[in-house]
Amino acid sequence: MSAVTDTAPSEQAAAERVRSLLAQAVSFSLTTDGQCYDLIGMHSVGRNGRITLAAQADSPLAAEVAAAPHGSLAVLLEFTDIAPTPLRDRVRARVTMSGWLTPAGPAGAHDGDGGDGDLRLDLARVTLRTAAGTQEVSLDAFALAQPDPLAVEEAAMLTHLADAHGEMVADLVVLAGSRLPYGVVRALPLAVDRYAITLRCEYREGHCDLRIPFPTEARDAAEAGEQVRLILTTPRCAHHHRHPSPRA
């Protein structure tokens, strides 16, 4: 058994989800026609979603770009969003980006999106894959989107909640009541954004995800913690949990 939640009005748009994933990501894979690279700590996202890779001038990747026709190398980037808590299935989303790498050059240094030796990614396509399906993200939407304000702190927030406040997670599950299928053997925080906290409820076979909206949007980690406390202290009838939808 597995489950996903339905789409809610107050939820990250696909482009924002992608920008949030890129803000959190430390590593990613990059594939060219002849090589596959596992890169760590090399990407940055500047204004208008401009992606820059901080490659060493003598690196194999930089050499491939230099040898490509007109210095433009076709590439595929793959980012994987992995939950920081010890769940059975920790992959929350995957983002695939295709485009062309070119030297950022002095022009990139001038506008703040890169410097000498850096590589600029000219995007052609962005795809987001989650448990709910696959979405194509328009390049305009990606350029205009901003990361969720909790994105960078999310991992620390979720691990702290799981390690130090297990009773709060249990209380949140209790609030779901009959909305959850019977037989939960373990529940852990799966995700948090400015709109809601999501719990992964595991069963002997499979799982379901319970998304619990915040009373109001959170602007930072402190406000998110306060929203969780409000959920736990507000009369139960006032909550509007998302009903998990089991799938075979």
Query: DSSP letter string over 183-213?
Result: ---EEEEEEE-SSEEEEEEE-SS-EEEEEEE
At residue 111, does pLDDT exceed 80? no
Those residues with Cβ within 8 angstroms of residue 11's Cβ, 6 or more apart along the chain or in another chain: 195, 196
Going from N- to C-terminal start, the domains of the chain cover: 13-144, 154-247
Task: Name the phi and psi angles at 85, rounded to 5.
Answer: -95, 155
Q: For the chain, what is the radius of gyration of the CA atoms? A: 20
**0.95 cut: is pTM over it?**
no
Domains 13-144 and 154-247 belong to one CATH topology? no
Residue 109 pLDDT > 80: no
- Which tokens hold the place of 68? 């490509």
pLDDT tens per residue across span 221-232: 999 999 999 999
Condensed to tens digits (0 to 9), the pLDDT of residues 80-89 reads: 999 999 999 9
Query: For the domain 154-247, what is the CATH code?
Result: 3.20.180.10
* Measured distance CA(30)–CA(24) in Å, rounded: 17
Q: What is the mean pLDDT of the chain?
A: 89
Q: What does residue 13 show for φ and ψ, rounded to 5 degrees?
A: -75, 160
Look up the CATH architecture of domain 13-144. Answer: Roll (2.30)
